[in-house]
Chain A
């Protein structure tokens, strides 16, 4: 088996809306793969199809070598799923939730006992194991769900927005668990998120998904590199020098893209931190006084804007994003 998850042209139509439109992805065993997109992009629908909750309207998908429609039970045996909303029984204790799950997946008593210990300590809930779930905090519930998803040693784990609605500290914790799972237990993980930082920090590869389609797919680093590099912003005392300085840099060919605006010059380069001395030297040779320098590495936010033409969340367009738009239009 070459891929843990393989889809070819998978599609889901709901009456009028096409939620997932002809998506083909291949996830390698052991990979931590992210689906990044705004709410309503089709991420959850894709996960629901891969986890056999709903049937695709077209295309096909294999999970751990099994067809999600024809061999749904085999797929179910091999996957763990943590849904966006809680699916715990809140009248039971944490341990009882795990135990019932183990029973449903056919684990014997001895295996259940030792596995419950393992997964509880992984998510640091051992002390709360015998408390009724109703009294858990949101973060504890999410951790218990992750633990439960791992009870039966799944090969593939689906995490739908694993840190949605959690406070920053809990989020950091959950990220640690996810990394630990992936590196120590070797579980293939497919997660969806609309948090850039989460996708950036966790994922080996990211598929940016918008209106049910994949608009970009690569490692976080390569996605960012595609934007052309780092952006150096120079602040000039005399706005009149802007044109002259831009000309200097263009003539020297030391930058990929140069733009000027009011009293600032934006230079897109590779390895920005190494280029700064050279760029400043060229400026002083030309007799232009620079009073500020800043370096900004592109983020996934910039990548997202580049591919979809808008920010993932509604917010004010900052100066940097304007550059993003400019670079985009230049490329066209």
Chain B
């Protein structure tokens, strides 16, 4: 019975995210447009301007895993911090007053947010394929989707934790700009991380998104700089820690 109730709670919160997602078509298009602009424009620009070390032109395929990682990061963080909007528009009270476990509420919200992030990631993957990016294997693509899930859970946990601590939506804007841009730029989404100077290396290696992007690169393109096992280990630890933290802070949250 307890399990049934927990599953029901998770499903309910997931269902809500899905209904809301299906109604926000403009948001989906907007979310897809940014990484695709990067891919097409930046990809073409880089190819024509740079030579890769050891000769040959820059292959825009290199950008695809980074952009998928970036869109998963954006969608997941947004999914987590959307709790701020729930508080702003009052719906949070409806959840907090229900006789259900807060932990499963936040888990449901997380899985809902991750689902939307994965849908966006997969759409970008498909569009990238259509504009000529080749993936190494079907199994690699499936594994890549798995990576989207694990890293998405981590970022959404982080989002929920932040949302539980932030008092207003003004603070949210600041956190988003101080968090998302550095995470993306320091992840190796746009440049190879092999020969970075020491100070930059520290930041890049401390960034969980780096491991998500590297893992995606391994599974989709067949090569990565960081070992795939290290990537998976880091992502699993990061996600478990973040979702626990998010669930814990959400449990203490007041409307």
Contact = CB atoms under 8 A, between A and B. Distances in A.
Nearest to B16: A100
Interface string A23-39: 00000000000000000
A305 interface: no
A103 interface: yes
Interface string A87-110: 111111000100011011110000
A92 B12 CA distance: 13
Nearest to B89: A90
Contacts of A115: none
A101 B90 contact: no
A174 to B, nearest CB: 19
Given A81-B97, A87-B93, A89-B91, A104 B254 contact: no
- 7 nearest A-B residue pairs (beta carbon): A76-B99, A87-B90, A103-B12, A104-B98, A77-B99, A87-B94, A87-B93
A73 interface: yes
B255 interface: yes
B224 interface: no
Contacts of B254: 53-54
B20 interface: yes
With most chain B CB atoms within 10 A of its CB, the pick from A52, A54, A87, A91 is A87
Contacts of A104: 8-9, 12, 95, 98-100
Interface of B: 5, 8-9, 11-12, 15-16, 19-20, 23-24, 89-100, 254-255
Interface in A197-244: none
A87 B12 contact: no
A74 B99 CA distance: 7
Given A89-B89, A148-B94, 16 more contacts: A53-B93, A53-B96, A53-B255, A54-B254, A73-B99, A77-B99, A86-B89, A88-B91, A88-B94, A89-B16, A90-B89, A91-B20, A91-B23, A101-B98, A103-B8, A105-B98
A316 interface: no
A293 B82 CA distance: 65
B90 A105 contact: no
Interface of A: 51-54, 73-74, 76-77, 81, 83, 85-92, 96, 100-101, 103-106, 132, 148
A132 B16 CA distance: 14
B2 to A, nearest CB: 11
A106 B94 contact: no
A106 B98 CA distance: 10
B90 A106 contact: no
A191 B89 CA distance: 23
Contacts of B89: 86, 89-90
20 contacts: A51-B97, A53-B93, A53-B97, A53-B254, A74-B99, A76-B99, A81-B97, A86-B89, A89-B16, A89-B91, A89-B94, A91-B19, A91-B20, A91-B24, A100-B12, A100-B16, A104-B95, A104-B99, A105-B98, A148-B94
Contacts of B93: 53, 83, 87
A51 B93 CA distance: 11
Contact of A105 (B91, B96, B99, B255): B99
A90 B254 CA distance: 21
Given A85-B90, A106-B8, A76 B97 contact: yes
Contact of B19 (A76, A92, A148): A92
Contacts of A87: 90-94
B96 to A, nearest CB: 7
B11 A103 contact: yes
B255 to A, nearest CB: 7
Contacts of A76: 97-99
